């Protein structure tokens, strides 16, 4: 993410719908995030074709939250190891 403080609006397509995302990140970064979310939604829908769209979105959100928690735990472990090494 860039350090640029300019707020920009980026039009993206997620799960077949157009969305305007506003943020201070670069347009490329916002598009990359939207693409990641879209691909996760498409993947879950493909595996569960009868699941309603809102439930697909909830599953993707839970999966992403799980990944975030695992990475956060790893980060804390690495920081602890670095402190022990010093």
SS3 at position 42: helix
**Half-sphere exposure of 48 toward its Cβ, with a 13 Å CA cutoff?**
14
Domain count, the chain: 1
Q: Answer yes or no: is 26 within a domain.
A: yes
Identify the pLDDT of residue 29. 98
**CA dihedral over 50, 53, 55, 57, signed as positive or negative:** positive
Output the furthest CA–CA distance in the chain (Å, rounded): 54
Instruction: Give the residue from 44, 43, 37 showing the smallest Cα distance to 14.
Output: 37
Q: Answer yes or no: is 1 within a domain.
A: no
| Range(s) of the domain holding residue 35 | 8-85
Beta strands in 1-52 (DSSP E): 8-14, 17-23
Q: What is the pLDDT of residues 19-64, one digit of tens each?
A: 999 999 999 999 999 999 999 999 999 999 999 999 999 999 999 9
Q: Answer yes or no: is 3 within a domain.
A: no
């Amino acid at each position: 993410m860039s350090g640029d403080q300019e707020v920009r609006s980026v039009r993206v397509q997620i799960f077949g719908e157009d969305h305007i995302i506003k943020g201070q990140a670069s347009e490329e970064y916002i598009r990359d995030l939207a693409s990641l979310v879209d691909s996760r939604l498409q993947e879950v829908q493909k595996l569960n074709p009868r699941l309603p769209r809102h439930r697909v979105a909830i599953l993707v959100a839970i999966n992403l939250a799980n990944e975030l928690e695992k990475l956060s735990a790893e980060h804390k472990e690495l920081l602890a190891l670095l402190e022990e090494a010093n």
